[in-house]
Amino acid sequence: MLKVEDLCYEYESGFQLKNINLEVKGGESIGIIGENGSGKTTLVKNLIGLLRLNSGRILLDGKDTSTMSVAEIARSIGFVFQNPDNQIFASSVKEEVSFGPQNLKIDNIEEKVTNVLKTTDLFKYKDSHPFNLSGGEKQRLALASILVMNPKILILDEPTSGLDLKNARKLIEIVKKLQKEGRTLIVISHDMELISDLCDRVVLMKSGEIIADGAIKKIFDDHDLLEKTRLDLPEIAKLSKILGFGVVFSPEELYRKWRASHD
């Protein structure tokens, strides 16, 4: 579905993405992790055409994206920014979500907007001004205005950061529904419990390079890798490792393992 070959990109400041190779299959969910400044967002901006690579190529369903406009890429790859305020500009929720499809002259806009607002639990606010929404609702609005374009690949940048428990859970629930529908998912996050909950595969970045690509537990079991990056194990994973149960990201899973060995 998405293939990145030997991608290199350099900012004027000198920061580089170096020889990125990555293949994402249809229906797959991958997490991109790494410390701040490791190149996660720069990589994603290259994927959606906001930044244009210096060398290498990106293939979307076999087609080189260097020949495609940002709008064309956006039909296939939807990117939800970390700060929803950057993405919101219309004067009503409905208008906000209608903007993209209107620009791309998509059919049945009304019906699609209604469906997406229902999926994201925002239908009741359809006539409200977006700035009257709470942080969690704004985050869902940003997701809705991307979903309405029906992209095959959805990229989420720190989707739950800054959200309280209720809003974070609601968002995760929606994302899981999208996964079940077969949507391909790329999630950038520092939250390892979230990543382990949503993604089967993790790409670890450091200083503009991919330094590991594989199952999340395998990566967190690798001492050398952890030493090399600024990644820190969540408390529950630390406890689980000391207790000899390997890397576990959920308290309930650790308890099940502890109990099984204890009884």
In the complex, the residues that contact another protein under the rule CB under 8 A are 35-37, 134-136, 161-167, 190, 193, 230-232, 234-236, 238-239, 242-243, 250-252, 254-255, 258-259, 262
Q: Scanning the structure block, which residue is given the tokens 């959920």?
A: 250
Rounded to a whole number of angstroms, the minimum distance from the CB of residue 245 to another protein is 12
Determine the Cα angle at 156 with ends 194 and 137, to 5°: 85
- State the burial class of residue 173 (Cβ atoms within 10 Å of its Cβ: 0-12, 13-18, 19+): exposed
Q: Which is nearer to another protein, 35 or 95 (CB)?
A: 35
Minimum distance from residue 252 beta carbon to another protein (Å): 6
Looking at the DSSP bridge assignments, the partners of residue 32 are 188, 203
For another protein, the closer of residues 101 and 159 by Cβ is: 159
Q: How far is the CB of 204 from another protein (least distance, A)?
A: 13
Q: Minimum distance between the CB of residue 165 and another protein, rounded to whole angstroms?
A: 5
Nearest CB to another protein, comparing residues 40 and 183:
40
Put residue 16 in one of left, alpha, beta given phi > 0 → left and psi -120 to 50 → alpha: beta
State the DSSP H helix or E strand holding residue 40, giving kind and residue range, or none if neither: helix 40-47
Measured from the CB of residue 49, what is the shortest distance to another protein in angstroms? 26
Judged by beta carbon, residue 14 or residue 62, the one nearer another protein is: 14
Burial class (CB in 10 A: 0-12, 13-18, 19+), 235: exposed
- In which element (H, E) is residue 32 found? strand 29-33
Nearer to another protein (CB atom), residue 107 or residue 252: 252
> Which DSSP symbol is given to 10?
E
39/136 with CB nearer another protein:
136
Q: Is 90 exposed, middle or buried (0-12, 13-18, 19+ CB in 10 A)?
A: middle
Compute the distance between CA of residue 145 and CA of residue 135 in angstroms, rounded to an integer.
Answer: 15
Return the bridge partners of 22, or none: 4
Q: Shortest approach of another protein to residue 221 CB, angstroms?
A: 17
